[in-house]
Chains A and B, each alone.
Chain A
Amino acid sequence: MIEFKGVNKYYGDFQVLKDINLSINKGEVVVIIGPSGSGKSTMLRCINHLETITEGELTINGTLVADKKTDINKLRRNIGMVFQHFHLYPHKTVLENITLAPKKVLGKSENEAKETARYYLDKVGIAEKADAYPSQLSGGQQQRVAIARGLAMNPEVMLFDEPTSALDPEMIGEVLDVMKALAKEGMTMVVVTHEMGFAKEVADRIVFIDQGQILEEATPAEFYANPREERAKLFLSRILNH
């Protein structure tokens, strides 16, 4: 359902993405890994048009993301996004954070939106925090709210950009558990993360990217046991040895 065809992206003279070809099917969980600055976030952010591709074709269910005729707001309803730093709205309660888009974008009624919000809050395990403000929550709780906020739009795909790297170690597990459950329910997920446990357990595919290029695509079992690319080997030895 997500299809990159010969996608290039430049920042000025600097080429961030080089001839990206990747296709992600419905229900697949794809983990993107690679060194810092390799273009992982950029690639993810192109999918919901937070960044614009320079060349090539990027389609979602056949719709060109970067086309002028595409209603990007409509496309985005269908793509949830979770950020490294959560980006919850600090002036709104947890419940309001989750109900905003369903009300304003999908036109749901207050009650309907609240009901959905509570359902997903329960699902991510923090039903009791509905009326709290984000500043009253721990990092792990905030990230779970962010996931619930994404899910409340009932999207077809969820994008995650290093969802656990801003968290204290003891909170990583609670967020990963929510994501694993989601993966097992069949959600299509594109996840930038270095969490190997997560990748091994639920990823269908690992995409290794370095300097804007996809160097390797493999199943987690293959990739972690026996990476083909020299640079992937080097990268793995680095993340494993610290």
Chain B
Amino acid sequence: MDFIGAYAPDHLTFLLKGFWVTLKVAFISIILSFIIGAIVGTLRYAAIPIVSRVLAVVVETIRNLPLLLIIFFTYFALPEIGINLEITYAAIAALTVFESAMLSEVIRSGLKSIEKGQIEAARSSGLTYVQTLQHIVMPQALKRMVPPIVSQFISLLKDTSLAVVIALPDLMHNGQIIYAQKDSYIIPIFLIVAIMYFIVNYCLSQIARRLEVKRA
């Protein structure tokens, strides 16, 4: 094992560049999939006649596909129908589609977990369905949803590494390039890559814990 050679300054810079791509792709996908997931999850919860049924089919389909397949699809299949996405955008698109479906499910079941009595109390006082959702159901559901939403964010961040298959220059990808030069780099590079993933995800889960304590 050659730690000194593996951690040469230009290797570290290269890894950090990859790390930055990972964070960027994850961050953008998290924001987008949270917005889309919240809208889709709420629409499904609201049981709007045709809309909810259609969304259910779409969400279930996506949830039952491997993310890897979706990544391949956005990069290799979309150009066939005239949509050419740059690697980064292809990765963001694939992650967003997949994670939106996952998050919509988290959000829908969070909303569903609020007791019927809460809704009846609100509706019987004259609040409309939307007001009830806004003031009674959502605030309570959000509190319960923080832990599963954050763990979904964490898995999204880890899932960015799957985009190595389309050569997204992320942390995993750049790590591979470095250790491909020399076998003695493999373990040191794996170690530092693992530490980097761990640090961000650990921070995320700590933030989630804080939020939980505060809102409890």
Instruction: Decide: B123 and A105 in contact? CB cutoff 8 A.
Output: no
Closest chain B CB from A66 CB (angstroms): 15
- Number of residues from B at the complex interface, CB < 8 A: 18
Give A102 to B117 CA distance when docked, in angstroms: 19
Closest chain B CB from A229 CB (angstroms): 32
Closest chain B CB from A136 CB (angstroms): 14
- Closest residue of chain B to A76 (Cβ to Cβ) is B126
Q: Which residues of the partner chain A approach B139 to less than 8 Å between Cβ atoms? A: 91
Prevailing SS type, chain A contact patch: mixed
Contact of B127 among A73, A88, A91 (CB under 8 A): A73
Give A50 to B119 CA distance when docked, in angstroms: 10
Contact of B123 among A50, A74, A90, A146 (CB under 8 A): A50
Task: Indicate whether B143 reaches chain A with its CB closer than 8 angstroms.
Answer: yes
Q: Which residues of the partner chain B approach A80 to less than 8 Å between Cβ atoms? A: 124-125
Give A224 to B140 CA distance when docked, in angstroms: 45
Q: Which residues of the partner chain A approach B115 to less than 8 Å between Cβ atoms? A: 87
Give A76 to B127 CA distance when docked, in angstroms: 9
Contact of A91 among B124, B126, B140 (CB under 8 A): B140
Residues of chain B touching chain A, judged by Cβ–Cβ distance below 8 Å, are 115, 117-118, 120-128, 131, 135-136, 139-140, 143
Q: Which residues of the partner chain A approach B121 to less than 8 Å between Cβ atoms? A: 81, 83, 87-89, 146
Give A83 to B122 CA distance when docked, in angstroms: 12
- Number of residues from A at the complex interface, CB < 8 A: 24
Instruction: Decide: B117 and A85 in contact? CB cutoff 8 A.
Output: yes
Q: Which residues of the partner chain A approach B126 to less than 8 Å between Cβ atoms? A: 73-74, 76-77, 101, 105, 153
Q: Contacts A83-B117, A87-B117 given; indicate if A104 touches B135 (C-beta within 8 A).
A: yes
Instruction: Decide: A87 and B118 in contact? CB cutoff 8 A.
Output: yes
- Closest residue of chain A to B140 (Cβ to Cβ) is A91
0/1 interface trace, chain A 68-106, chain B, CB 8 Å (1 if under): 000001101101110101011111000000001100110
Instruction: Decide: B117 and A101 in contact? CB cutoff 8 A.
Output: no
Q: Which residues of the partner chain B approach A153 to less than 8 Å between Cβ atoms? A: 125-126
Q: Which residues of the partner chain B approach A48 to less than 8 Å between Cβ atoms? A: 124
Task: Indicate whether A150 reaches chain B with its CB closer than 8 angstroms.
Answer: yes
Closest chain B CB from A163 CB (angstroms): 13
Q: Which residues of the partner chain A approach B117 to less than 8 Å between Cβ atoms? A: 83, 85, 87
Instruction: Decide: A100 and B125 in contact? CB cutoff 8 A.
Output: yes
Closest chain B CB from A158 CB (angstroms): 11
Closest chain A CB from B145 CB (angstroms): 13
Give A89 to B211 CA distance when docked, in angstroms: 20
Give A194 to B140 CA distance when docked, in angstroms: 34
